[in-house]
Structure 1
Amino acid sequence: MKLTEHISSGAASDEAIIQLRGVEKTFAARGANAPVTALHEINLDVPRGAILGVIGRSGAGKSTLIRLVNGLELPSSGSVRVDGVEISALEERALRQERRSIGMIFQHFNLLARRTAFGNVALPLEIAGVSKAEIRKRVLPLLDLVGLSDKVDRYPAELSGGQKQRVGIARALATNPKVLLSDEATSALDPETTEQILALLKQVNAELDVTVLLITHEMSVIKGVADRVAVIDEGRIVEEGATYDVFTGPQHATTRNFVSSITGTRLPEHLATRLSATPSAGKEALVQLVFKGEGAAQPWLSVLTRKLDVDLGIVQAKVDHISGRPFGTLVVSLPDVAKLPALLETSKELGLETEVLGYA
């Protein structure tokens, strides 16, 4: 069931509903430990109606960033705004009120063991003083939305991990939030369940016009759900943009490392260790070809072989879809290194991006 009768409407736009400007967060010294700066000069916009993923390694500052958005942490300096409201400037009572427009789902579900699925989803409404009749009117459609209409009276111990997370999503939506924050919400789930939860988040985003900000250390999660991605490394945003653009043209070393395992641009370890930067007798050139858009489905190996009259070996190849658009990589070996300039020039003429990975 679509909950449009319960959700305030608003078309998606490029307007930023979440804005971070010049945000720094330093945690005070504890004992003999020096102060720790978790975030440095963070500037980030989350467009209204979008799904933006923040990816980074453990300790990169992801969790601190998301806790700033709902006021669980306050910035040491800078500005954090949600729908025009300066979160860090709110008194506790006003902050509690504002949090009703900011839903939160967690890695380990955070459900109350002695409450049923219905009771867990109803909890934030009870705290807000909503009547029992209105609570029922709100909770049952939400449980239907997340696929748990038959689990209304089940307790968390009777639910699978994916079902628990569905309850968590329904609970986060109970107060009609404008924004949904996801803190590693799929990290404790198996791959199949992860796909289901990501599909649910996309459904929530599309049907309820709820902006989603999620943090993760898994690039496959970003690929599966996010419109935009921001890469955080050592407390700094090092790259940000549309998911397709970042996946197909990563600029920062951290980003390239993240996307390589997803896009097929990472060589097998046994081959990578044999690569040298300069040609020598008996070694073949390894060249990576990148093709985007509709051209990803073209038989590029046959085209290049015929045009150049060369033998090209396939080292690895992958064609995938990112944000609904095709993207492919092909790593070839070229025995006749003298023909490498011609291969690079012809590939460029055909609109392919190329990179000489080395010689092996």
Structure 2
Amino acid sequence: MAHPSSQALRSPLRGVLSLLQPVPASGAVPVARGDGPAVAALEDIDLSVARGEIVGVIGRSGAGKSTLIRLVNGLESPTSGRVVVDGIDVGTLDERALGPVRRSIGMIFQHFNLLSSRTVFDNVALPLEIAGVDRAGIRRRVEPLLEMVGLADKRDRYPAELSGGQKQRVGIARALATQPKVLLSDEATSALDPETTTAILDLLAGIQRELGLTILLITHEMAVIRRIAHRVAVIDGGRIVEQGEVADVFAAPAHATTRSFLGAETGRGVPAWIAERLQTEPVEGGKTVLRIVFRGEHATDPVLSQLSRELGIDVNILSGSIERIGGSPFGILLVALPGDAAAQARAARFLADRELHTEVIGHVR
């Protein structure tokens, strides 16, 4: 993951974490498909993760997310380009040299990967035992970690006695045992229920703030990105098709894959009772359906009441939501305005003057 600059992960990779220097169409890890020719699992990747940043990588199954993770921790080597973690080109190292680098990279797994025959304490202690730390040193390290993840009272329990959320807390503590600079999370919440997912994500965000960790978060759920990521990269077919600040991408997704992932997130979806009536062309005497994105300082402003009062335009709110994304207020409203072009133009200028992103969804009778 990278080094102190904001240029962290590029694929060719660059940053505390970097996948760097994009290459022509041959560019990353070839994977054999049956008896056929090798294909590129990742290609022309250019991604950086700055120190202390949480970057989410989202994609469907088979998009290349897991291969990207394996590049970062040295389990795969790029056929071209570089994978740079804290200034070290991981792809150039042999197994012996990879040991210290891997200890600086913590890993959280989807299915926990705990040893059933070891207690909670001993599962967390395992990487320290492998590193040759003495028992007193292990105790000094493990006990505060169990406190941090809320499992001090479960130290002598076995995995079979724990809930899914508790198992993942053990996995998080284990990932932190060697005091890593970078934390990799591979679908860490996809096996958990929504309430537990929220608790685990909040725990990760708190740990990141407390320890200043750099986190690369792999997921197929936009709700995970929305909850804790600072930036997001969307991967499709082995390529990054869109990336940016989370709020920017949520406000105006540029790629079809991103829009499909957003779906009903943050009020973006059109309710079925409206969708079934939408038409692409204006309807005489009808209304235009508009999506308005409210961000930052304007997220809680009474913009629609001002629009109605100052311009005399009636606005019908159809659906919406407001929350925090990327640490700032973020809201989406679906509204209906009078369908005549003059009223729409006036409303569009009014909203643009307040730096609000708008999008015409369609027209209804």
User: Do they fold alike, i.e. is TM over 0.5?
Assistant: yes
- Native 8 Å contact 2:293 2:331 kept in 1: yes
CA contact (8 A) 1:102 1:178 kept: yes
- How many angstroms does 1:186 deviate by? 0.6
Cα separation, 2, equivalents of 1:20 and 1:348: 37
Indicate whether 1:312 and 2:315 are aligned.
Answer: yes
Q: Could you report, residue by residue, the CA deviation over 1:18-60 in whole angstroms, capped at 9, with x for unpaired residues?
A: 11113511102423x4423221111111101111111112221
The equivalent of 2:6 in structure 1 is: 14
Residue pairs, 1:315-354, within 5 angstroms:
315-338=318-341, 339-354=343-358
Q: CA separation in 1, counterparts of 2:261 and 2:34?
A: 33
How far 1:140 sits from its partner (Å)?
1.2
Contact 2:252 2:357 in 1 (8 A): no
- Matched with 2:32 is 28
Taking a change above 3 Å as real, the CA distance of residues 39 and 342 of structure 1, as seen in their structure-2 partners, is same
Q: Where in structure 2 are the equivalents of 1:136-285 lying within 5 Å?
A: 136-285=139-288
SS at match of 2:257: helix
Structure with more contact order per residue of length (Cα contacts < 8 Å, sep ≥ 6): 1
Residues 131 and 47 from structure 1, CA distance in 2 versus in 1: closer, same or farther, beyond 3 angstroms? Answer: same
Structure 2 match to 1:4? none
> Which consecutive aligned stretches of 4+ in structure 1 deviate over 6 angstroms post-superposition?
none
Is the 1:12–1:49 Cα contact (8 Å) retained in structure 2? Answer: no
Measured in 2, the distance between the counterparts of 1:244 and 1:344 equals 21
Between Structure 1 and Structure 2, how many residues are aligned?
Answer: 349
Q: Which runs of 5+ in 2 are unaligned?
A: 8-14
TM-score w.r.t. length of structure 1: 0.91
Residue equivalent to 1:59:
62
Q: CA deviation at 1:209?
A: 2.1
SS at match of 1:30: coil
What's the CA shift for 1:334?
A: 2.5
State the Cα distance separating 1:249 from its structure 2 match. 2.9
2:284–2:339 CA contact under 8 A, matched in 1: no
Distance 2:287 2:172 in 1: 52
Is the 2:110–2:188 contact (alpha carbons within 8 Å) kept by the matching residues of 1? yes
Deviation digits for residues 160-193 of structure 1 (CA, Å, limit 9, x no counterpart): 1111001101111111111110000011111121
Equivalence for 2:53: 50
Cα deviation digits, residues 78-103 of structure 1 (max 9, x gap): 11111111112111122123211111
Structure 1 stretch displaced more, 13-22 or 320-329 = 13-22
Query: 112, 120, 144: which one pairs with 1:117?
Result: 120
Letter paired with 2:347 = L
2:283–2:339: 8 Å Cα contact kept in structure 1? Answer: no
Could you tell me how far apart the structure 1 residues matched to 2:297 and 2:163 are? Answer: 40
CA contact (8 A) 2:338 2:344 kept: no
For residues 277 and 38 of structure 2, what CA distance do their matches in structure 1 show?
Answer: 43
- Tell me the distance in 2 between the aligned counterparts of 1:218 and 1:107: 13
Give the alignment's Cα RMSD to 1 decimal. Answer: 1.9
* Distance (Å, rounded) in 1 between the aligned partners of 2:349 and 2:205: 41
Question: Which AA in structure 1 matches 2:260?
Answer: N
The answer as to 2:111 corresponding to 1:108 is yes
- Indicate the residue corresponding to 2:44 in structure 1: 41
Contact 1:117 1:155 in 2 (8 A): yes
**What SS does the aligned partner of 1:41 have?**
coil
* TM-score w.r.t. length of structure 2: 0.90
Residue by residue, what CA displacement relative to the aligned partner does 1:117-167 show, whole Å, maximum 9, x if unpaired? 011111111112221221112111111111111111000000111110011
Q: Percent identity?
A: 58
2:300 corresponds in structure 1 to: 297
SS state at 1:170 partner: helix
Question: What secondary structure sits across from 2:274 in the alignment?
Answer: helix
Q: Which residue of 2 aligns with 1:3?
A: none
Tell me the residue number matched to 1:6. none
Secondary structure at the aligned position of 1:297 is classed as coil
1:352 & 1:177 partners in 2: Cα distance?
40
* Contact kept in structure 2, 1:13 and 1:49, CA below 8 Å: no
Aligned with 1:59: secondary structure? coil
1:70 maps onto 2:73 in alignment? yes
Give the deviation of 1:346 after TM superposition: 2.7
For the residue of structure 2 that corresponds to 1:276, the secondary structure is coil
How many angstroms apart in 2 are the aligned matches of 1:143 and 1:41?
Answer: 41
Instruction: Give the drift of 1:297.
Output: 1.4
Unmatched tracts of structure 1, length 5 or more: 1-10
Whole-Å separation in 2 of the counterparts to 1:131 and 1:43: 41
